[in-house]
Every structure is written in structure tokens, then in C-alpha cells.
């Protein structure tokens, strides 16, 4: 190394001083042409101890120039980095230590994260070893630090002479799985194919397992790591599916996907095809349950009508007129309407309805009485009774004496008709239509009025009485008639001859208030003689009264 020093018009010798102290070493010498005023300092085999300030001076010249000599000793190699040799786990602390390897002047150490300076530039030197150390500390690393490139740069400050040296450490951070799903909710129609997918971020790579919350996976499902395919979804596949990722670093990553399957409405099979209810069981209701997605709207319709009711179907009064077939109707948007027929069968006592509460007819004509009977079970037979003016009831039978009883079944209703030929005043009274089944009985009363009657104090002809008194006995003649403060009179009259045998029992009635004769009104002269005998009897009785 040569430091140049030149002095003009100098007649004496010059000296080179180091830190104001004249040094004369074997490796130091002054060279140059003194006649030209050149006094150059030559340092052979420069060493670190040669570093310092140098001044070229002469006693005759006060001003002298100072020269600083720095002897650079390059570093042996790049700095050494210790710490984080093994992968860290997210949440761990990070401590990296950078140590220079020799060199003079001591290098300045700087940490970089990628291309950005990281932390401070404070250094701690070691005089004994001539090394410089700089630490990098982070209290907590995260998954975002995985793959980070931390570089320690050692710079001696003279890049033109010796270039900076650097060492790097790439972090390896293990972290638990993080699961994300692109579609947290998926809708599908029953029968379609569905793919459920999740994305997993973890280090190291995680094992992915699919589960269905609260149930098993569908049998026809196919798992492919981060996705699962259900070939044909059904309504039973609806639910929450979970993608679980595990790489043995807690916590386990979980992602959830809700699968909603749309399917047509279906009416619960527990709804019976036929429902029986007792007559008079008020506030009875029919409830229909239907499954479907979207949730079906349930209504009731009376079949073959346009009448609709909301579910449940309520009957505030159960009568026979509500009996019939009702349909449970379930509707869902996007699917066909589903129905189920339910036959409502009303059981109970019969219900009797009369066409009219009073029947009027002319004497000698035919009187007809009608009643309709509804019941379940339907009565086998309708009973007709007659209550006369005295309040005595008799059962009417279908005979050939002018009483005719007919019954006709139409659907679940029975129509009964009673007809009486050649009515007279004696036929007036209350006619009762009575029906009975295993539960109870019901009846309706119809009053008969006969027009065109002759008002007389005499009894009616015997032929009229005998329609209702087949044995010929009249209760008005069954005992002596007495009045207060009168002399009792006993009249004995020989009864008329009985009718011919072939005419007997033409009129028959059960449960009457007595027995009477059996004779057909009208006929030959013999019959007229009997009527005359009746009239004589009536006249004698009237006179006695």
C-alpha cells in the first residue's frame, strides 16, 4: 500500500506520522523522488494493526493532510444461523440467532423477511472470537409464517472491496387443518345426483373424512378425498354433512354442508280408509298428516264437490247427513297434488223423518203415510202403530183388509209407506212410524184427519169399528152405564151373528185395547142385516143414556 505525499520547495526531510506518532517499521518506507518533493508512504503486507489515521508533515509546513487507513479482513464465510432447524407448530415462539464468521471491521448484521427488513440492527459483538451476533425473536408464529424466508445479511461497509455475505433460513410451520366449503347449503330434487365439496388447508396434509350428523352416510355415496357424491338422493338423505380434516394437530378441522332434498307430498299411511263415528258424537275431527318438501298444504274436500275445509276436518255436529267420502288433499309447489279417500261411516240409533206431520183425506178415500229412516245399521223393519182418540196404541200389520205396508231401500236410507183404504172417522188418530236398531230407536208421529164426517150421536157402523177391533167388542158396551141420581138401566141385546168363516180375521191388529168382531164392511143382504142389528143396538143404547 502506498500513500502519496508531495511537497513543493521543500529543503528538509519529511516525516509520515500515524496518529501523530512517528513510526518507523520494517514494512513501512517512504518512497518517491525527493527532488520532486514526493514523499510517499509504502506499507508492505498491510495488517489490521496498520489501520488508523496517517499524516504527512514537515517542520516547515504546519498544514498537513490526514489519511485514514482501514485494513479490511474479509469474513471467512456467510454468517451462521441457528434455530428453527425443525418444523415449528403454529403458536410456537421463534428464535433465530445470526452469528458472523470473522472479518474486520466487524460486519453489521441485518434480518430480512423476504426483501423487507425485519426487526432492529442492534448487534452484540464478542471480542474474544471477533464475532457479531444478532437474534430474531417472534412470540408466536402462525400458518402464514410457513415458508417464510428469513435472511441474515452481514455487511462490513465496503461493498467495493468486500461484498456483503448472507445466510437464509426458510421456516417450516405445521398448523391444524382449516376447512372451507364453497356452498354451505345445497338444494336438490329427489332422484338427482349431488356432489358435496370442501377445501382443506393444513400442514402437513390432512386426512379427510365425511360424516352425516346424527346418521350414517347413504349407501350409494362415493367419497373422493375432499368431495362426496350421492348418486340418487332421496328424502332420507337430507341433513348436515361434515367434512372432517385431521393431521394430528389439534383442533380437527370441520366444515358443514346442509343438503335439502325436495320431494313430492306423501300422505301418512296411518290414515284409515274408513272411519266410523257414533251419531251425536259432536266435535269429532279427522286429522290428516302429509310429509313433503316443501311442506305440503293439507285440506279436506268432500269428494265430487267443490267444498273444502282446512285440516283437521272438524264436525261440530255428527249426523247422518255428514256421512260420505272425504278426500285429504296435499299440495306442494312444483309437485302433483296427492289425495287419499276416507269413508266416514256414522253409526248409531236410527233417525226417522216424516214427509208431513199431518195427513188429511176424504172419507172413503185412501190415506197414505210416508217416513224415511236413516241409521247404521239400518233397521230391518219399520213398525207402524196407531194411537186412537183414547190414547191406546196398536201395532198395524200388513194384511189383505185394506192396510198395506211397503218398504224400499235407496242407498243407506229406507223409505216406509203405510196406506189405508176406505178411511172413515174411526181411522182418525196418531200414526207412528218407529224404527229400532241395536243402539236405540226413533219415531215420528203423523196425525190423520178425515174430512166429510157426519155428526151423529150414534156409534159408527160396526164394519168401521171392526177394522180396529177385530173381535167385535166395543169398550163402550163392556159395562153398564150409570149416571148420578139416575135409575140404572140394564139393556140386554142379543149380539149379531158372527161373520162367515171365510171373512174372519181379515183385519188384524196387535196390542189393541180389547178384542172385537172381525167382519168385512159391505157385502150381501146378510151383512146388511148385521149392520141393521148394530143400528138397533146403537139406538137402544142412546135411549138408555
The model's pLDDT over 352-372, given as tens digits with 9 standing for 90+, comes to 999 889 999 999 999 999 999
Contact assessment for residue 312 and residue 285, using Cβ atoms and an 8 Å cutoff: yes
Q: Which of 23-27, 112-116, 255-259, 462-466 is predicted with the least confidence, judged by mean pLDDT?
A: 462-466
Q: Is the dihedral of CA 85, 89, 90, 91 positive or negative?
A: negative
Q: What is the mean pLDDT of residues 45-54?
A: 83
The model's pLDDT over 230-254, given as tens digits with 9 standing for 90+, comes to 999 999 999 999 999 999 999 999 9
Q: Which of 52-56, 433-437, 442-446 is predicted with the least confidence, judged by mean pLDDT?
A: 52-56
Contact assessment for residue 473 and residue 512, using Cβ atoms and an 8 Å cutoff: no
Q: For the chain, give the percent of residues with pLDDT over 90.
A: 57
Q: How many CA atoms lie within 13 A of 280 on its CB side?
A: 8
Q: What is the mean pLDDT of residues 481-493?
A: 39
Contact assessment for residue 80 and residue 107, using Cβ atoms and an 8 Å cutoff: no
Q: Which residue has the higher pLDDT, 39 or 409?
A: 409
As a whole number of angstroms, the distance between CA 450 and CA 429 comes to 10
As a whole number of angstroms, the distance between CA 32 and CA 21 comes to 21
* pLDDT value of position 528: 38
Position 124 confidence tier, pLDDT thresholds 50, 70, 90: low
Domains and CATH numbers, the chain: 2-69 (2.60.40.10), 77-171 (2.60.40.10), 176-264 (2.60.40.10), 274-348 (2.60.40.10), 355-451 (2.60.40.10), 462-544 (no CATH)
SS3 535: helix
The yes-or-no verdict on residue 516 having pLDDT over 70 is: no
* pLDDT value of position 268: 94
149-111-132 Cα angle (round to 5): 130
- End-to-end CA gap in the chain: 186
**Which pTM value belongs to this model?**
0.57
Q: Which of 65-74, 75-84, 114-123, 263-272 is predicted with the least confidence, judged by mean pLDDT?
A: 114-123
Q: Which of 131-135, 450-454, 473-477 is predicted with the least confidence, judged by mean pLDDT?
A: 473-477
* pLDDT value of position 3: 61
Q: What's the grid cell of residue 127?
A: 471480542
Q: Which of 219-228, 291-300, 399-408 is predicted with the least confidence, judged by mean pLDDT?
A: 399-408
Position 67 confidence tier, pLDDT thresholds 50, 70, 90: confident
* pLDDT value of position 30: 83
User: Which residues, including other chains, have CB under 8 Å from residue 545's CB and lie 6 or more apart?
Assistant: 481
CA 242 from chain centre, in angstroms, equals 21
Print burial letters for 465-501: b (CB count within 10 Å at least 16), e (below 16).
Answer: bbbbbbebbbeeeeeeeeeeeeeeeeeeeeebeebee
Q: Is the dihedral of CA 315, 319, 321, 325 positive or negative?
A: positive
As a whole number of angstroms, the distance between CA 107 and CA 101 comes to 9
Query: E-strand spans in 307-428?
Result: 308-310, 313-315, 324-331, 338-354, 358-362, 367-376, 382-387, 393-396, 403-410, 413-420
How much is the mean pLDDT over the chain?
Answer: 81
Q: For the chain, give the percent of residues with pLDDT over 70.
A: 75
The model's pLDDT over 208-232, given as tens digits with 9 standing for 90+, comes to 999 999 999 999 899 988 999 999 9
The yes-or-no verdict on residue 437 having pLDDT over 50 is: yes
* pLDDT value of position 350: 92
Q: What's the grid cell of residue 523?
A: 157385502
> Rounded to the nearest 5°, which phi and psi values hold at 480?
-70, 145
Amino acid at each position: 500500500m502506498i500513500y502519496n505525499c508531495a511537497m513543493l520547495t521543500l529543503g528538509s526531510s519529511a516525516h509520515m506520522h500515524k496518529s501523530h506518532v512517528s513510526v518507523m517499521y520494517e514494512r513501512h518506507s517512504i518512497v518517491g523522488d525527493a527532488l520532486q518533493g514526493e514523499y510517499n508512504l509504502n506499507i508492505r503486507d498491510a495488517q489490521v494493526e496498520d489501520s488508523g489515521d496517517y499524516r504527512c508533515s514537515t517542520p516547515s509546513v504546519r498544514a498537513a493532510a490526514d489519511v485514514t487507513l482501514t485494513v479490511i479482513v474479509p469474513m471467512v464465510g456467510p454468517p451462521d444461523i441457528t434455530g428453527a432447524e425443525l418444523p415449528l407448530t403454529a403458536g410456537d415462539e421463534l428464535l433465530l440467532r445470526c452469528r458472523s464468521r470473522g472479518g474486520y471491521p466487524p460486519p453489521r448484521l441485518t434480518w430480512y423477511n423476504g426483501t423487507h427488513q425485519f426487526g432492529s440492527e442492534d448487534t452484540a459483538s464478542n471480542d474474544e472470537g471477533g464475532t457479531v451476533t444478532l437474534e430474531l425473536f417472534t412470540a408466536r408464529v402462525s400458518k402464514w409464517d410457513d415458508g417464510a424466508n428469513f435472511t441474515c445479511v452481514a455487511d462490513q461497509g465496503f461493498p467495493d472491496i468486500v461484498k456483503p455475505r448472507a445466510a437464509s433460513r426458510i421456516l417450516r410451520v405445521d398448523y391444524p387443518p382449516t376447512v372451507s366449503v364453497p356452498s354451505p347449503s345445497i338444494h336438490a330434487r329427489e332422484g338427482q345426483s349431488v356432489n358435496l365439496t370442501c377445501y382443506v388447508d393444513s400442514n402437513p396434509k390432512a386426512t379427510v373424512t365425511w360424516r352425516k350428523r346424527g346418521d350414517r352416510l347413504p349407501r350409494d355415496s362415493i367419497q373422493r378425498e375432499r368431495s362426496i357424491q350421492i348418486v340418487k338422493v332421496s328424502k332420507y338423505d337430507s341433513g348436515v354433512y361434515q367434512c372432517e380434516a385431521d393431521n394430528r394437530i389439534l383442533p380437527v378441522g370441520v366444515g358443514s354442508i346442509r343438503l335439502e332434498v325436495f320431494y313430492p307430498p306423501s300422505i301418512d299411511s296411518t290414515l284409515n280408509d274408513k272411519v266410523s263415528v257414533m251419531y251425536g258424537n259432536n266435535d269429532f275431527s279427522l286429522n290428516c298428516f302429509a310429509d313433503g318438501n316443501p311442506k305440503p298444504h293439507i285440506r279436506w274436500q268432500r269428494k265430487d264437490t267443490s267444498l273444502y275445509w282446512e285440516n283437521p276436518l272438524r264436525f261440530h255436529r255428527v249426523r247422518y247427513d255428514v256421512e260420505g267420502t272425504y278426500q285429504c288433499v296435499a299440495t306442494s309447489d312444483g309437485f302433483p297434488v296427492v289425495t287419499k279417500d276416507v269413508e266416514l261411516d256414522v253409526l248409531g240409533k236410527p233417525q226417522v223423518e216424516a214427509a208431513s206431520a199431518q195427513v188429511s183425506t176424504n172419507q172413503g178415500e185412501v190415506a197414505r203415510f210416508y217416513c224415511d229412516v236413516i241409521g247404521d245399521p239400518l233397521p230391518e223393519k219399520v213398525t207402524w202403530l196407531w194411537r186412537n182418540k183414547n190414547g191406546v196404541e196398536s201395532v198395524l200389520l200388513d194384511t189383505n183388509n185394506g192396510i198395506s205396508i211397503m218398504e224400499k231401500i235407496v242407498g243407506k236410507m229406507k223409505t216406509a209407506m203405510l196406506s189405508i183404504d176406505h178411511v172413515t172417522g174411526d181411522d182418525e188418530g196418531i200414526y207412528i212410524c218407529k224404527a229400532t236398531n241395536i243402539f236405540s230407536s226413533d219415531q215420528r208421529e203423523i196425525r190423520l184427519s178425515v174430512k166429510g164426517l157426519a155428526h151423529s150421536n150414534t156409534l159408527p157402523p160396526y164394519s168401521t169399528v171392526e177394522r180396529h177391533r177385530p173381535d167385535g167388542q166395543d169398550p163402550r158396551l163392556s159395562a153398564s152405564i150409570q149416571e148420578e141420581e139416575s135409575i140404572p138401566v140394564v139393556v140386554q141385546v142379543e149380539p149379531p151373528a158372527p161373520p162367515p168363516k171365510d171373512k174372519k180375521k181379515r183385519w188384524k191388529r196387535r196390542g189393541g185395547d180389547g178384542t172385537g168382531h172381525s167382519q168385512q164392511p159391505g157385502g150381501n143382504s146378510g151383512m146388511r142385516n148385521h149392520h141393521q142389528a148394530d143400528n138397533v143396538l146403537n139406538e137402544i143404547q142412546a135411549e138408555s143414556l
